[in-house]
Amino acid sequence: MTTAHPRIASLLPSITEILCALGLEQNLIGVTHECDFPMSVQGLPKLTASRISHETMTSAEIDRAVKGELKDKHTEGHASIYTLDDKLLHELKPDLILTQELCDVCAVSYKTVAQAARMFETEIPVVSLEPTTISDIFENIRTVGTLTKRETEAEQLINNLAVRIDNLAAKTAGVARARVLMLEWLEPPFAPGHWVPEQVALAGGDASFGHAGKPSVQTTAEAIRDYAPEIIVLIPCGYYMNDILRALETAILPAGWNELPAVKDNQVWTVDASAYFSRPSHRVVDGAEILAHILHPEIFGAPADAEAVRVAPELMHSSNE
Distance of CA 302 to the CA centre of its chain: 23
- Residues 113, 127: contact at Cβ < 8 Å? no
In this structure, the answer to whether residues 75 and 186 fall within a common structural domain is no
Per-residue pLDDT band for 220 (boundaries 50, 70, 90) equals very high
Apex 190 CA angle, 106 and 81, nearest 5: 25
| Whether residues 208 and 289 fall in one domain | yes
Q: Is residue 43 part of a domain?
A: yes
Closest CA to 202 of 141, 254, 276, 151: 276
Do residue 26 and residue 60 come from a single domain?
Answer: yes
Return the half-sphere exposure (C-beta side, CA atoms, 13 A cut-off) of residue 128: 15
pLDDT at 64 over 90: no
Domain assignment present for residue 239? The answer is: yes
Is 282 contained in some domain?
Answer: yes
Same domain? 150 vs 193: no
pTM of the full predicted structure?
Answer: 0.92
Q: Are 243 and 54 in contact, with CB atoms under 8 Å apart?
A: yes
- Same structural domain for residues 47 and 150? yes
Give tens-digit pLDDT for 69-123: 655 554 344 446 788 999 999 999 999 999 887 666 666 766 777 777 776 767 8
242 and 300 both lie in a single domain: yes
CA distances from 127 to 41, 110, 112, 215 (A): 21, 9, 13, 21
Q: Give the pLDDT score at 187.
A: 95
236 and 114 in a common domain: no
Mean per-residue pLDDT, 8-27: 96
Tell me whether residue 2 is in a domain.
no
Taking only the tens place, the pLDDT of each residue in 153-207 is 999 999 999 999 999 999 999 999 999 999 999 999 999 999 999 999 999 999 9
Give the structural domain span for 19. 8-154
| Nearest-angstrom CA–CA distance, 307 and 151 | 31
CA atoms within 13 A on the CB side of 299: 20
Are both 142 and 23 inside the same structural domain?
yes
Residue 217 to residue 105: CA distance in whole angstroms? 13
pLDDT of residue 130 exceeding 90: no
- Fill in the amino acid letter for 95: D
List of residues 6+ apart from 245 with CB closer than 8 A: 270, 311, 315
75: CATH: 3.40.50.1980
Write down the pLDDT at residue 75. Answer: 38
Q: What span, in angstroms and rounded, lies between the C-alpha atoms of 283 and 200?
A: 14
Answer yes or no: is 122 within a domain: yes
- Number of domains making up the chain: 2
In a domain, 250, yes or no: yes
Establish if 199 belongs to a structural domain: yes
Q: Is 172 inside any structural domain? A: no
Examine the domain organization and report whether 13 and 143 are in the same domain: yes
Q: Are residues 183 and 150 in the same domain?
A: no
Same domain, 89 and 195: no
Q: Does residue 181 share a domain with residue 142?
A: no
